Amino acid sequence: MVIKKRESAPVFSIVMPVYNAEPYLEKSLQSILHQTFPDFELILVNDASTDQSYKCCESFAAADNRISVLNLKKNRGAAEARNKGMDAARGKYLCFADADDTVEPDYLERFYTALQEEEYDFIKCGAYEEYFDGEETPVYTRKCILPERICTGEKEITEQIIDMEQVPLFGYLWNSVYNMAVIKANQLHFDSALQVNEDFAFNMQYLPFVYKMKCLSYCGYHYAKRNDTSLSSRKKNYDYEKHLLKVRSFLALLKQNQMETQALLDNVYWMFTRLTFSALEAGTSLEAVRREPVFTAYRKHSFGPVGIKKKLLTGILQSNTVLLIRPAVIVMGFVKQHLPFFFAKVKK
């Protein structure tokens, strides 16, 4: 049910799925409402929250006619919530935000300024990764910056998105602007069957329709990372197959565009290294990794010159030796569990 909707179509539609976000929601909404560029609508999709999130959404909607609320009676997950929000969106351009994050006051204004220069199909900006402890105290901030760049054509755009994902900044939704006409004309939607990487999958769906992309060095989004997921929960919910989506998609894209260069393959296989160590640490068996065709190709890949950390980890994984891999996984798991903020600093 749509609670309310403003009459005129806005420049931007911002879609925000909301699920049990009560502790963070007000701060997040305030950051959006204080934008220096005011011509937007904010579509809040309450995904059957069991806390006071829906009441908070209603309260903000009653006070500002730029806000609409969709209330889902059954929890459907972030992907389907975003689909509902997109279907209701009326702006020329589409943005996304998460209910526990915040944006800079000039977040939309920077996008709008870029769009006045040229009609870009896709815009990306940088972000701040903000790490919080259990007491909601910020303990570490990582500034994720993109080089200012305009990309045109398949090859330039492909190189850029693979470079971007090293940060990583390509797969995220919330540092992006999409052309709503492209989404509606091609009936693009999130895959609600995916519990992870559904944002990356959506961006890959959108990519064939991108002919000109702008990257802004500006960092306008604050992405909150909270250490509130237990190791047992991570192990229970980790799905190695679905996490491989990024690597498989990029390898297929490189092959399709005949761009299997040393540098680009190094970048994709470094992603595979990091992803696989995370999978092993989360409980995926080495046998499951060995069965993957990507692992077979990975072991045959010769990396170019890399730093000590990359050389060590890729060498260990490519060795396929239990006596080397298992201790590395144990050490990484210990650091991630007990020194999460140190891990955040060195993980790239």
pLDDT digits (tens, 9 = 90+) for 150-206: 999 999 999 999 999 999 999 999 999 999 999 999 999 999 999 889 999 999 999
CB neighbourhood size of 215 (10 A): 26
Element (H, E) at 33: helix 22-33
CB neighbourhood size of 334 (10 A): 12
Residue ranges, CATH 3.90.550.10, the chain = 12-226
Range scoring the smallest mean pLDDT among 25-39, 105-119, 301-315, 324-338 = 324-338
What integer pLDDT is reported at residue 343 of this predicted model? 64
CA distances from 190 to 87, 184, 211, 225 (A): 11, 13, 21, 23
Residue 4 C-alpha from the chain's centroid: 29
Average pLDDT, the chain: 92
CB neighbourhood size of 12 (10 A): 23
Q: Identify which of 178, 179, 176 has the alpha carbon closest to the alpha carbon of residue 168.
A: 176
Residue 3 has pLDDT above 50, yes or no: no
Task: Please determine, looking at this structure, whether the domain spanning 12-226 carries the CATH number 3.90.550.10.
Answer: yes
Residue 136 has pLDDT above 90, yes or no: no
pLDDT-derived band at 84 (thresholds 50, 70, 90) equals very high
pLDDT-derived band at 334 (thresholds 50, 70, 90) equals confident
Residue 39 has pLDDT above 90, yes or no: yes
Distance CA 85, CA 44 (A): 7
Element (H, E) at 151: strand 149-152
98 in Cβ contact with 20 (< 8 Å)? no
What integer pLDDT is reported at residue 230 of this predicted model? 41
Each residue's pLDDT tens digit, 223-260: 999 865 444 444 545 789 888 999 999 999 999 999 99
54 in Cβ contact with 46 (< 8 Å)? yes
pLDDT-derived band at 347 (thresholds 50, 70, 90) equals low
Residue 17 C-alpha from the chain's centroid: 14
CB neighbourhood size of 134 (10 A): 8
Distance CA 292, CA 269 (A): 14
What integer pLDDT is reported at residue 335 of this predicted model? 81
Q: Identify which of 71, 67, 101 has the alpha carbon closest to the alpha carbon of residue 84.
A: 71
- The average pLDDT across 274-292 equals 94
213 in Cβ contact with 123 (< 8 Å)? yes
Residue 217 C-alpha from the chain's centroid: 17
Residues whose CB falls within 8 Å of the CB of residue 273, separated by 6 or more in sequence, listed in order: 298, 310, 313, 314, 317
Token pair listed for 122: 């896709």
pLDDT-derived band at 138 (thresholds 50, 70, 90) equals confident
Residue 341 has pLDDT above 70, yes or no: no
Q: Is 20 left (phi over 0), alpha (psi -120 to 50) or beta?
A: left
Give the number of residues written for the chain. Answer: 348
CA angle 47, 173, 184 (to 5 degrees): 80
